[in-house]
Amino acid sequence: MSAEKQYIDLYRSQKALIDANSAPALNACREEAAQMLEREGLHKPNDFTHVDSEQLLSADYLINLARHEVPTNREDLFTCAVPELSTNVHFLCNEQYIGNTDKINDSRFFAGSLREFAKQHPEIVKEYYNRLAGRKLDTGDKRSSKFETCSPGEAALNTLLCQDGFVLYVPAGVEVQKPLQLISLLRAVDDFMAVQRLLVIIGDNAKASLLVCEHASLLPKIDDASQFPDLLSLQTTEIFVGKHATLDFYCLEEHHEHAYRLGQVYVRLDEGANVDLGEYALTAGRTRNRVQIELTAPDAKIQLYGMAALDGSQQLDNLTFIDHQAPDCQSNELFKYVLDEQAKGSFLGRILVRKGSDKTDAHQTDRNLCLTPDTRMVARPELEIYADDVKCSHGATVGQLDQQALFYMRTRGIPEEEARMLLMFAFMSDVIDGIRIEPLKDRLKHLIEKRFRGELKQQCNGCFTR
């Protein structure tokens, strides 16, 4: 039986249980999602990505449909907050929202459980939930690139089984001063799939910053202590940014080799909206990020950053799609990879400028460093342009550290290893420099340094297995 069929059967047989542990506004979308999943399927073969989503999704996972209690002792669970970043921290364990450290309850906006929010404000959820993920984008031209950046099938599977998650709702005119931090932990003692959902709604003229930190615990399997369970996180994030609103959304991934992530981020920007979106992978297991950004009205602006430092047998695919639907919009995309040992990376970036989207300014850059002969990098930047008064460019490079620069530093007495480190930090620095939260910038630089020195792994293992 196909994986799609299995999931649909699971839904049909467990419908009562799934619905009972969720909210009506979320349940309302499931039937449509089942049809979408059946129609679109989960797997579309293509030669340019490494992560085998078909294999990942057809494995036998436990799914916490009955919403069994997870331990809620947060101090035990989470130790990896970003220091000195005076944030309001929210916690998500697998897909379940388990509270926050917010002492002053600011009632001007809502940050918390998706399930609770859907119960309290079904009308808002109805207006936004699954509006971006639940549809296939029509690119308006029959010839259009046959390559699909987003997977409607995977999004439908998420909608089909999603019961909880995190929501940030900032009504029009509200400026949230303090950055919010969402720490999301994958934690299980058997092969497990977490169906995670994030919904971010920023009203007109509103402002907010959200930092998502993804971690995975490394606990031995319950029935075989010599093995670690496979953890899969199936994520869908929908972001709506209203007129002249500003959002900073950064996602920091620290996973291990047994953690897999299939994530899709959908963003819709209204007139004059300004969004900073970053995907930073310090360590990954096998990760595929798909990002779809729609610039729907004039003067919208998006900065999209991506960074990946991979080693071992880690694999990471970034698939991005920026859709310029209106004139006078700007997009700027910068992705950097450092691949070591047997790591594999791919970057597929597509920019579409539709008819009439004049004065578009779209730039894309992808730079990659391969450090060993066993690494593999695939870059596929695409420009598809149907308007004439535009400025668009893309640049992509794959190479190694500059031998001349290395030599220069060594002649000045810097040991080779140190010189290599310096060059790698320098290589990564411009992805980080764009970040609009100062303390996060410093923290990230610190983490990257640790990452390249190989100190991160030990610390993280220590931190999560205690």
Partner 1 sequence: MREENNSEEVLKDITSGEYKYGFTTDVETEVIPMGLNEEVVRLISQKKGEPDWMLQFRLDAYRWWKEQPRPTWGHVLVEEVDYDKISFYAAPKKKTGNGEVDPEILKTFDKLGIPLHERDMLLGNAPAGTPLDGASNMAVDAIVDSESQKTTYRDKLAELGIIFCSFGEAVREYPDLVRKYLGKVVPTRDNYYSALNSAVFSDGSFVYIPKGVRCPMELASYFRINSSGTGQFERTLIIADDESYVSYLEGCTAPMRDENQLHAAVVEIYVHDHAEVKYSTVQNWYPGDKNGKGGVYNLVTKRALCAGDFSKISWTQVETGSAITWKYPSCVLKGDNSSGEFYSVAVTNNYQEADTGTKMIHIGKNSHSRIISKGISAGHSQNSYRGLVKVLPGADGVRNYTQCDSLLLSDTCGAHTFPVMDIQNPTAMVEHEATTSKINEQQLFYCQQRGIKEEDAVGLIVGGYAKEVVQKLPMEFAVEAQKLLSLSIENSVG
User: Is residue 65 involved in binding partner 1 (CB under 8 A)?
Assistant: no
* Residue 395 found at the interface with partner 1 (CB under 8 A): yes
Binds partner 1 by CB under 8 A, chosen from 12, 103, 146, 466: 146
Smallest separation, CB 349 to partner 1 (Å): 11
Those residues with Cβ within 8 angstroms of residue 255's Cβ, 6 or more apart along the chain or in another chain: 186, 214, 215, 216, 261, 281, 283, 284, 285, 287
**Shortest distance (Å) from residue 317 CB to partner 1:** 13
**What's the start-to-end Cα distance of the chain, in Å?**
40
Contact with partner 1 (CB under 8 A) among 80, 85, 383, 422: 383
- Region label for 16, one of left (φ > 0), alpha (ψ between -120 and 50) or beta (otherwise): alpha
Which residues within the stretch 354-373 sit at the binding site for partner 1 (CB under 8 A)? 355-356, 358, 368, 370-373
Contact residue for partner 1 among 384, 430, 442, 449 (CB under 8 A): 384
Cβ-contact 224, 263 below 8 angstroms: no
Q: Is 141 in the site for partner 1 (CB under 8 A)?
A: yes
- Assess 390 for contact with partner 1 (CB under 8 A): yes
Report the residue from 28, 174, 387, 406 that binds partner 1 according to the rule CB under 8 A: 387
Establish if 138 lies at the interface with partner 1 (CB under 8 A): no
- How are beta strands 390-399 and 360-370 bridged, if at all? parallel
Smallest separation (angstroms) from partner 1 to the CB of 350: 9
Q: Which two tokens stand for residue 258?
A: 């047994």
Rule CB under 8 A: which of 207-226 touch partner 1? none
Contact region for partner 1 (CB under 8 A) — 31-39, 82-90, 112-120, 393-401?
393-401
Residue 268: its H or E element: strand 259-269
Residue 377 Cβ vs partner 1, minimum distance, rounded to whole Å = 5
Spatial distance between the Cα atoms of 423 and 408, rounded to a whole number of angstroms = 12
Query: Rule CB under 8 A: is residue 389 a binding residue for partner 1?
Result: yes
The one-character DSSP state at 223 is S
Q: Taking CB under 8 A as the rule, does residue 331 contact partner 1?
A: no
Is residue 382 within 8 Å of residue 369, measured between CB atoms?
A: no
Binding residue count for partner 1, defined by CB under 8 A? 41
Q: Which is nearer to partner 1, 390 or 448 (CB)?
A: 390
CB atoms within 10 A of CB 41: 17
Q: Residues of 406-416 as b/e, b for ≥16 C-beta within 10 angstroms?
A: beebeeeeeee
Segment interacting with partner 1 (CB under 8 A) among 178-186, 218-226, 266-274, 384-392: 384-392
CA distance 83 to 403: 37
Beta carbon of residue 452, minimum distance to partner 1 (angstroms, whole number): 16
Q: Determine contact, residues 377/398, Cβ cutoff 8 Å.
A: yes
Q: Which residue stretch of 284-292, 321-329, 388-396, 443-451 sits at the interface with partner 1 (rule: CB under 8 A)? A: 388-396
461 binds partner 1, rule: CB under 8 A: no
Taking the C-alpha atoms of residue 234 and residue 386, their distance in angstroms, rounded to an integer, is: 34
Q: Distance (Å, rounded) from C-alpha 439 to C-alpha 432?
A: 11
Nearer to partner 1, 69 or 389 (CB): 389
- Output DSSP code: residue 143: T
Query: Residue 107 or 404: which CB sits closer to partner 1?
Result: 404
CB of 346 to partner 1, least distance (A): 9
Report the residue number, 32 or 384, with the smaller CB distance to partner 1: 384
- Report 39-58 residues binding partner 1 (CB under 8 A): 48
Selected from 244, 376, 441, 450, the binder of partner 1 by CB under 8 A is: 376
Nearest distance from residue 376's CB to partner 1, in Å? 5
- At which residue do the structure tokens 């319950």 appear? 222
Asked whether the beta carbons of 313 and 345 are under 8 A apart, the reply is: no
Distances (CA, A) of 74 to 97, 100, 185: 11, 9, 11
CA 146/CA 391 separation, integer angstroms: 24
Min CB(140)–partner 1 separation in Å: 11
Nearest distance from residue 136's CB to partner 1, in Å? 18
CB nearer to partner 1: give 244 or 380.
380
DSSP state of 41: -
Beta strands in 94-163, from DSSP E residues, in sequence order = 96-100, 110-113
Q: How far is the CB of 269 from partner 1 (least distance, A)?
A: 22
Contact status: 406 vs partner 1 (CB under 8 A): no
Per 3-state DSSP, what percentage of the chain is helix, strand, and coil (rounded to 5)? 25, 35, 40
Compare residues 206 and 352 and give the one whose CB is closer to partner 1.
352
Q: Binding to partner 1 by residue 80, rule CB under 8 A?
A: no
Instruction: State the residues that interact with partner 1 by CB under 8 A.
Output: 48, 141-146, 355-356, 358, 368, 370-373, 375-400
